[in-house]
Structure 1
Amino acid sequence: MKIKGITDVFFDLDHTLWDFDKNSALTFEKIFEINNINISTNDFLAHYMPINLNYWKLFREEKIEKEALRFGRLNDAFLAVNLKVEENLIYKLSDDYIMHLSSFNHLFENTFEILDYLSLNYNLHIITNGFDEVQKKKLNNSNINKYFKTVTNSEMVGVKKPNPKIFNFALEFANTKVEQSIMIGDSYEADILGAKNIGMEVVFFDINKIVLDTNVKQIDNLIQLKKYL
């Protein structure tokens, strides 16, 4: 059933439009080769991915700073695979990762199709917890920046989703109202609960089909947004 009264559609970026896992894996392959790190990327990622998620949770909860996230997730992953890597090399890998990440720009299936479709009738926006300099490159290099009227990131606001301040900032920045807006994202905690808590409509991009809440509208392919918008 179509949702009535919506004028503004807010998207998360990583894991919702921009295929973070695929692009990140390609980035690690590249920086391991550059720095002569002899390791199976698949083995490394099997440990790194849950570690990275936990660091992002700590970062989202304001318990660690950006630099602690960037260093700690790599250091912990190398320890987990029993590979000794010097501290200065971890810092270099961290910088290389950020530098090369936006050179890979795989998007989720039907990203362009749904953005073309929605842009005919709605104002489109981004709300992201990602780092400002990296997110801008991702949007530009993947050729989707043109679709979005505003991009709100956590560094602009000083807080991260699900903090209500970032959603309220984004609404004001977009010159719209909560009752006219909808949030689409992959993080149930950050995107869905965060937006619901200020009264926004939400759609959970549940690509892994985990169905966390049967009361929330859910999709597992972006083209399914046509059911609601």
Structure 2
Amino acid sequence: MMINNIKDVFFDLDHTLWDFEKNSSLTFKKIFEVNQLDIDLEVFLETYVPVNLNYWSKFRNGEVDKDALRFGRLNDTFEALKRPVKSDLVYKLSDDYIAYLSSFNHLFEDTITVLNYLQTKYDLHIITNGFQDVQHSKLISSNINHYFKTVTNSEQAGVKKPHPNIFNFALNQANAEVETSIMIGDNLEADILGAKNVGLKAIYFNQIPLTSHPNITQISKLIELKTYL
């Protein structure tokens, strides 16, 4: 069913348009080769992925800062794997990860098709908790930056999703009204509940919809946005 009276569409970036897990995996493969680190990538990622998600949750809640996140997620993973790595190398791997990450630019299926479709009808925007320099590089390297009228990140806004102020900051930057705007993202707490808390409509991009969420519109593929917008 079409959602009427929408003028501005706000997207999350990582895990919504930009295929973070795929690009991150390729980045680790690259930096392990560059640093001649002999470690099984699949085994590493099995431990790293949940550790990273936990650090991002702490980051959203203000429990760790950017530097602690970047160092801790790697250091904790190596410790959990009983593969202690000297701090100097952890810092280098962290820097290399950021340096190489945006050189990989895989997007989710139908991202370009959907953005081409939506840009003829709406003003498009990004709201991300990611870091400004990294997210800018991702948008450029994946060649989707031109679709978006504004890009709001947590460093600009001073707070992170789901805090109401980042959504209000983004609306103000976009010169958009809450009543005619919608948020699309993959994180139920940060993107969807955060948006709804300030009165925004929202669509939950849930690739593995194991549970239903009453009163929340869900899609499992981006192309399904054509049903609603």
| TM-score (normalizing by structure 2) | 0.99
Which residue pairs with 2:7 in the alignment?
7
Q: Please give the alpha-carbon distance, in whole angstroms, between the structure 1 residues aligned to 2:17 and 2:211.
A: 19
Once the two structures are superposed, what CA deviation does each residue of 1:78-136 show, in whole Å capped at 9, x if it has no partner? 01111121000000000000000000000000000000000001000000000000000
Query: Gapped runs of 5+ residues in structure 1?
Result: none
Which residue pairs with 1:41 in the alignment?
41
| Residue 118 (1) aligns with residue 123 (2) | no
- CA drift of 1:215 comes to 1.9
- CA drift of 1:211 comes to 3.1
Which residue pairs with 1:129 in the alignment?
129
Once the two structures are superposed, what CA deviation does each residue of 1:160-213 show, in whole Å capped at 9, x if it has no partner? 000000000000000011000000000000000000000100000001223351
Calculate the aligned-residue CA RMSD, in Å.
0.6
Tell me the SS of whatever aligns to 1:6: coil
Query: Gapped runs of 5+ residues in structure 2?
Result: none
Which residue pairs with 1:68 in the alignment?
68
One-letter code of the match for 2:58? L
Tell me the SS of whatever aligns to 2:175: coil
Tell me the SS of whatever aligns to 1:3: coil
User: What are the equivalent positions in structure 2 for 1:142-221 lying under 5 Å apart?
Assistant: 142-221=142-221
Q: Please give the alpha-carbon distance, in whole angstroms, between the structure 2 residues aligned to 1:156 and 1:147.
A: 20
Which residue pairs with 1:32 in the alignment?
32
Tell me the SS of whatever aligns to 2:211: coil
Tell me the SS of whatever aligns to 1:59: helix
Q: Please give the alpha-carbon distance, in whole angstroms, between the structure 1 residues aligned to 2:162 and 2:24.
A: 24
Q: Please give the alpha-carbon distance, in whole angstroms, between the structure 2 residues aligned to 1:112 and 1:104.
A: 16
* Count of paired positions: 229
Tell me the SS of whatever aligns to 1:193: helix
Q: Please give the alpha-carbon distance, in whole angstroms, between the structure 2 residues aligned to 1:148 and 1:158.
A: 21
User: What are the equivalent positions in structure 2 for 1:11-22 lying under 5 Å apart?
Assistant: 11-22=11-22
- Shift >3 Å, 4+ stretches: none
Q: Please give the alpha-carbon distance, in whole angstroms, between the structure 2 residues aligned to 1:26 and 1:215.
A: 37
Which residue pairs with 1:53 in the alignment?
53
| Residue 97 (1) aligns with residue 97 (2) | yes
Q: Please give the alpha-carbon distance, in whole angstroms, between the structure 2 residues aligned to 1:31 and 1:11.
A: 29
Q: Please give the alpha-carbon distance, in whole angstroms, between the structure 1 residues aligned to 2:69 and 2:127.
A: 20
One-letter code of the match for 1:226? K
| TM-score (normalizing by structure 1) | 0.99
Same amino acid, percent of matched pairs: 62
